[in-house]
Structure 1
Amino acid sequence: MFTGGSQFAFVGVLAGGGTPVSGAATALLLGTRNTLYGLRLAPLLAWTGVRRLGAAQLLIDESSAMSVTRDTTARARTGFLVTGWSVFVLWNLFTLVGALAGQALGDPRTYGLDAAVGGAFLALLWPRLAEPRNRVIAVLAAAVALGVAPSVAVGVPVLAAGGVALLAGVLSRSPR
């Protein structure tokens, strides 16, 4: 599955003593958030057929973020494709480098790389926080994730935070 969060969750479950089946289930559940991205991006990118199937392979946090902020379909497609392909190529290239030379590089925590994922996600989220409503949702989602983290399996806090955002979206569109 080409989604960093799912891959990290899988490895985290295995490192924590979980089985490969539970790791794969956690990764799959975490990857389902991309379905929500697809619902938002399908009308924006307006691809059909084989192109739509191909685009689904690049549907990740980064490519979604770089397309929803564009003002035309052409720019949304460009942002989506450039970001999706760049992340795909670089992610897989450096995964290979890590697999081959990981021991020589040492512990990534000594370089502060363990904070890179959180920093990258915040950079993607930042432009969306211009609206006060989105800031409130982000704070509530973070609070829920932090609140459940000590008592649930790896990956569930992210799903819980996503549930907060989904609920906020549903509630804000319901008739009053």
Structure 2
Amino acid sequence: MSNTEVDAPGETEADWPRQRSALLRDSVGVGLAVGALGLSFGALAVTAGFTVAQSCVLSLLMFSGASQFAVIGVLGAGGSALTGAATATLLGVRNSLYGLSLSRLLRVRGARRVLAAHLVLDESAGMAMGRPTERASRLAFYGTGVAVFVFWNLATLAGAIGAEALPDPAVLGLDVASPAAFIALLMPRLRGPRLWAVAVGAAVTAVATTLVLPAGVPVLVAGLVACLTGLLMKRRRADAADTRAGEQGGEN
């Protein structure tokens, strides 16, 4: 790899060992922080009726916190597997958008694309974006993705085994922990009044439709409402920007 790819303005190859250590340290820190939620997931999955093995397989293969909590939440409430899968897919759409941006940074081909796609998360994407060099972006992405994967799955196993060992895990109030964990994943992404408006609208829709729709379906409907509301807001902002541009052009 040439220095022209590694170096950014003001940086040299000699800076790379220090930068690499800092990136790996940050990646492990993120992995520990996010992976800790796996304890809740493992325990909640068992409480919802999953076995320890099923809980671990879901973490290994799906590996998307919000989607996993949605699946066990829907199934635990008596919803169908199809509704749970649809809700999880809707929540996972954002990862596809991350992948489009990351593909230009990672430049992976063949079987490595499968591995890279599995590690596309909010955290790995966030760590990779805005780095001074492509090499730093790749290290931040893979370091964070692998760290979260390892700690999340270890925590899932520990949480599931712990919940199974209890005679009645429901007495711990873990049914409340599932929505709480989901909200904890959502809160950092609500930046600005528009996103809050979308979130509140979706929440109101979910509560209102709970009275008339089968278990699990209100979450899916609320997700669709959130998507449509976001698209409408985006279109209105674009129209407003075009109007302002037209007015300024007329004044000139």
Same fold, TM-score > 0.5, yes or no: yes
Q: Determine if the alignment matches structure 1 residue 36 to structure 2 residue 93.
A: yes
* 1:7 paired residue number: 72
Closer/same/farther in 2, CA of residues 150 and 44 from structure 1, 3 Å limit: same
Q: Determine if the alignment matches structure 1 residue 90 to structure 2 residue 155.
A: yes
Match of 2:82 among 21, 25, 30: 25
Q: How does 1:4-153 map onto structure 2 within 5 Å?
A: 4-13=69-78, 23-46=80-103, 47=106, 48=108, 49-57=110-118, 63-64=121-122, 66-70=123-127, 71-72=129-130, 73-74=137-138, 75-95=140-160, 97=161, 102=164, 104-153=165-214
Task: Verify the 8 A CA contact 1:44 1:76 in the aligned structure 2.
Answer: no
Partners of 2:86 and 2:194 in 1: CA distance: 27
CA RMSD of aligned residues (A): 2.8
1:137 Cα deviation (Å)? 1.0
Task: Verify the 8 A CA contact 2:102 2:125 in the aligned structure 1.
Answer: no
Partners of 1:85 and 1:165 in 2: CA distance: 32
Q: Secondary structure at the match of 1:150?
A: coil
Task: Verify the 8 A CA contact 1:45 1:77 in the aligned structure 2.
Answer: no
Q: Which amino acid aligns with 1:37?
A: R
Partners of 1:54 and 1:76 in 2: CA distance: 12
Partners of 1:133 and 1:44 in 2: CA distance: 23
Partners of 1:118 and 1:36 in 2: CA distance: 20
Partners of 1:37 and 1:131 in 2: CA distance: 18
Partners of 1:69 and 1:37 in 2: CA distance: 13
Closer/same/farther in 2, CA of residues 52 and 172 from structure 1, 3 Å limit: farther
Task: Verify the 8 A CA contact 2:83 2:216 in the aligned structure 1.
Answer: yes
Q: Secondary structure at the match of 2:190?
A: helix
Partners of 2:111 and 2:178 in 1: CA distance: 31
Partners of 1:135 and 1:173 in 2: CA distance: 14
1:8 Cα deviation (Å)? 3.9
Closer/same/farther in 2, CA of residues 45 and 150 from structure 1, 3 Å limit: same
1:42 Cα deviation (Å)? 0.5
Query: Which sections of structure 1, spanning at least 5 residues, go unmatched?
Result: none
Query: Which sections of structure 2, spanning at least 5 residues, go unmatched?
Result: 1-57, 63-67, 131-136, 240-252
TM-score by length of 2: 0.53
Partners of 1:169 and 1:76 in 2: CA distance: 28
Greater RCO structure (CA 8 Å; 6+ sep): 2
1:116 Cα deviation (Å)? 1.6
Closer/same/farther in 2, CA of residues 30 and 79 from structure 1, 3 Å limit: same
Closer/same/farther in 2, CA of residues 80 and 41 from structure 1, 3 Å limit: farther
1:56 Cα deviation (Å)? 4.4
**Aligned pairs, how many?**
160
